[in-house]
Amino acid sequence: MYVPLSLGSLVLLGIAFAIRAIAAIRTQPSPQLPPGPKGLPLIGNLLQVPSRLVFLKFVEWSKEYGPLASYTVLGQPVVLISSAKAAGDILDRLSSKTSDRPRLIKLAYLTHSMEFAFANRGSFWRTQRRAAHESLNIRAAQKFQPIQEEESRIMVEDLLRHPDIDIAKHIYRHSSSIAWRVLYGHEAIDLRDDKAQVPSENFFEPLFSSAIPGGSIVDIFPFLQPLISRSRFLRRHSEAWYEKANTFFINAHTRPQVPVHLKHIFEVVYGGHASISANSHCGQSPDNDHRGARIPAFEDLEHLPQVEAIVKEILRWRPPTPTGVAHVAEEDIIYNNYLIPKGAVIIPNTWSICRDPSLYRDGDAFDPSRFLDEKGCIRKPPPDSHDDYLVFGHGRRICIGKSLAMNTLLIAVAQLLWAFDFHGVKGEQGNEIVPDPSAFWDNGVTVWPKPHQVRLVPRFPDLFERLKSAAT
C-alpha cells in the first residue's frame, strides 16, 4: 500500500543521506604529499638542504623515499621526481599543468626578468620561445655545422700546440666561440687572446647559483623582497652584474659581422648525404681512406654510431644539470594517490632519473654500448620515453638548443677521438693518475668536474699537416 510522505519526512530523509555521504567522505583518507624527510616546525627541512652539491642529498632521499618524494622549506612544498616514468607522466604528459617556473627573485634582479628560460608562461615567454625555436630547431641547426666543424678543428690544433694550457680553457674557448659566431656572426675566438669580448666562465656563477630554488637569501625568505626592491645598496651586486651583461650584449650586436659563406652552408644542408639513413652503414667498419685518414666531418657521423653512443652516455652518466631546472604545479595534481599541490616546486632529479634501473642496468657504470643494438646501430628509445635525451628536460620546457648542443658534442668528440689517445698524467712513481669521477665543482644549477690533468698523445705523426689540409 502506498503511504505518502510528509514534507518533514522528506527533509529528515535528505538530512540522513547527507550525513551518511559526509561520513563516507571523511572516512576516505585525503591525498597526502609524497613521503620525505621529517622537518622542524615552521622552517620544515630548511636546515637539511645543503647549499652546495644539493643533488647528492636528493639522490640520498630518492633512495630512501622512492621515485616521488617531497620536503618543505618555510611552508613551500617541493616535490622530487626521481624516475623516468614519473617524470614522463608529470612533466611531459601533464605539461599543460606543470610548465611554469618558480619565482626566483634574485635571478629576476640579475636579468631584469628578461631571461625567458626562467619566465612563467605568458606572451613574453611564448614570443621568445617561438623566435628561439625558429633559429635553433633541428633543421635550422644544420646551417651552423660548418662553424662547429671548424671550431672543433681549432680546438684540436690548439690542444696540439698548447698542451701546457689547462684543458678546461680549451673547452671553454671552443663552446664560447661557437656561441659567439652562431649568435652574433663574429670571428673565432683566439685561445691566447686575453682581451676576448666574451665573459669568463666565472661571470655566469651568480646566474647559475640563483637558478636553483632557495639559491639566495631572498628566495628563502621572500618577505625580504620589498626591502631589497627599495634599496639600491642591497641590489648593487645584481645591478653591477646586469650592467656588465647588458654592455656585453650591446657590443656583441653592434660589432661588424663576418660574411657567411652561404654556398658552403647550402652544400652542407642540402647535400646528397642528407637523404642517407642515419645508421645505414652502422654495422660496417669505416673505410680508412675516406674517414680514418682525415679529420671527421658531419657527413661521417652516420658511419660512427659509437661516437653518438659515447656522447649520449656522457650526458646520462654525468648530466651537467643534475637537479634539472625546476617546474611549478599550476593546479592540484593527484599522482599515484599522492598530492602535488598547486604552487609546489617540482624538481626533476635528473641524476637519479638517468640511473633509473628500469631503463639503465648498472646505471653508475659508464657504458656507451647501452645505446647500441645487437648490430652496433644506435638503438631506438623505448616507446613513450626519450631515455637517450633526458638531460635536456621535459615537456614544454625542453631545451630549445638541444640540436645545436648535440651537434657540437658529436663533432667535437669525433674529432678529438680521431686526433688523440687520452691518458692520465704520470705520478711520482711513474703510474698514471686517473681523475676521480666523483670529484665535482658546484656551479649552481650546473655541476662541473673538478680540475684535472689529461695527457693527450697524437695518433698521427703528421697531425699538424692533416689539420692544415682540412683547413684549406
pLDDT in tens, 365-385: 999 999 999 999 999 887 777
The amino acid at residue 271 is G
- Return d(Cα 18, Cα 283) in angstroms, integer: 70
- Return d(Cα 105, Cα 437) in angstroms, integer: 34
- Return d(Cα 237, Cα 221) in angstroms, integer: 18
Residue 430 is predicted with a pLDDT of 80
- Here the cell at position 23 is 561520513
Distances (CA, A) of 105 to 136, 198, 227, 235: 28, 26, 12, 11
Residue 24 is predicted with a pLDDT of 44
- Return d(Cα 276, Cα 287) in angstroms, integer: 17
pTM passes above 0.75: yes
pLDDT in tens, 238-265: 999 999 988 888 887 777 765 543 333 3
- Select from 317, 313, 321, 315 the least CA-distant residue to 54: 321
Q: Are 244 and 203 in contact (CB under 8 A)?
A: yes
Which position has the grid cell 673565432? 188
Report whether 354 belongs to an annotated binding site.
no
- Return d(Cα 12, Cα 389) in angstroms, integer: 62
- Here the cell at position 142 is 644544420
Distances (CA, A) of 301 to 185, 241, 269: 26, 41, 15
- Here the cell at position 333 is 595534481
**pLDDT over threshold 60, residue 448:** yes
- Percentage of the chain surpassing pLDDT 70? 86
- Here the cell at position 372 is 647500441
Q: If you write DSSP's letter for every residue of 262-308 in order, what string do you get? A: HHHHHHHHHSGGGGS-TTTTTTSPPPIIIIISS---GGGGGG-HHHH
The CATH superfamily assigned to 28-262+290-470 is Cytochrome P450 (1.10.630.10)
pLDDT in tens, 24-69: 444 456 789 999 999 999 999 999 999 899 999 999 999 999 999 9
φ, ψ for residue 392 (rounded to 5)? Answer: -90, 5
Beta-carbon count within 10 A of 164 CB: 5
pLDDT in tens, 205-246: 888 899 988 888 999 999 999 999 999 999 999 999 999 988
- Return d(Cα 340, Cα 31) in angstroms, integer: 9
- Residue 50 DSSP one-character state: -
Distances (CA, A) of 103 to 213, 219, 340, 394, 397: 8, 8, 17, 19, 16
- Return d(Cα 307, Cα 312) in angstroms, integer: 9
- Return d(Cα 36, Cα 261) in angstroms, integer: 57
- What value, to the nearest 5°, has the Cα angle with vertex 320 and ends 347 and 328? 20
Measured N-to-C along each axis, helices 167-184 and 145-161 cross at an angle, to the nearest 10 degrees, of 150
